[in-house]
Amino acid sequence: MKLAVEIAECRTVEEFMVSDRKIVVLSAGLGVPSSSRLLADQLAKSAAGKFEAAGVAAQVQTFELREYAVDIANNMVTGYAAPRLQEMIDAVTAADALIAVTPVFSASYSGLFKSFFDVIGKESLAGKPVLLGATGGSARHSLALDYAIRPLFSYLRARTVQTVVFAAPEDWGAGDGGTALVGRSDRAAGELVALVEQAPAVEQGRGGIESLSFEEILAQVGH
C-alpha cells in the first residue's frame, strides 16, 4: 500500500481520522527553533518510513505543547479544557501511537510536558504504543529517559518501546552527519511499528477508546 503521510499542524480531529494508522507527535520544546522539535520531526520521519516499509499507510500529526501552555494551566486550575486543547487531547486519545519528546530539566521531564499528561486523564494512554525522546545539554542527561520519563508512562499504563532516543548538542551536525542519531531513531521507530501492529483491536465506547478486557486479549491470542 502506498504511503500516505502528512505532517499536519492544528488540523481538526475529523480531518485527522482518515488514515490507516494515526500517529500523534508531542514536542515540549520551549524555544524557537527547538532541539526537541527537531528530534520530534526526526522520530516522526523514521516512524513514517518504517510504516511505509511495512506497507502501511500512516498520518502524522504534530503538536507543540508550548502553544497550549496557557490552556493547559487553565485546565489544571478549572478542570475545563478549552476547545483547542480538547481537540489535541482527542487526537492523542484516538491515535494508534504516540511520539513524545521533552527537554530534560533538573534530571527530569519539563513541567509543561508533565502538566499535559496530568490533564489528559490517567486512563487515556492505557495500552497505547509510545516512543519516547528527550533532549538536553549533555549526554549524561539521557538517564532521565529511563529513570523519570519512562516511569511516568508506565504509571499511565502505556506501552513504551524498548529503545529511547536522546539527542545532545553534539548529535546535531556531528562529524558523522547525524548518522548515529538517525540510526537510533530508526531502531526505535521500528519497535514502535511492531508494537502498533501487535496491539489488540480497540472498541469505541461511550467513554472513548477503551482497551479490550484481559479475557478478550487471551481469546485473540488463542486464535
The pLDDT tens digits of the residues spanning 14-26 come to 444 445 899 999 9
Mean pLDDT split into 10-residue runs, the chain, 223 residues: 42 49 95 92 96 91 97 95 96 96 93 95 91 90 92 95 93 68 95 87 38 46 44
CATH architecture, range 7-222: 3-Layer(aba) Sandwich (3.40)
β-sheet bridge partners, residue 27:
64, 101
Query: What's the predicted TM-score (pTM) here?
Result: 0.80
**What are the φ/ψ torsions at residue 120 (nearest 5 degrees)?**
-85, -10
Cell of 18: 482518515
- Side-chain-side CA neighbours of 125 within 13 Å: the count stands at 26
Distance CA 165, CA 208 (A): 30
Find, among 46, 53, 58, 64, the residue nearest to 16 by Cα: 58
Q: In angstroms, rounded to a whole number, what is the distance separating the alpha carbons of residues 38 and 52?
A: 21
Question: Could you report the per-residue pLDDT of 113-150, keeping only the tens digit for each?
Answer: 999 999 998 889 999 999 999 999 888 889 899 999 99
Q: Where are the domains of the chain?
A: 7-222
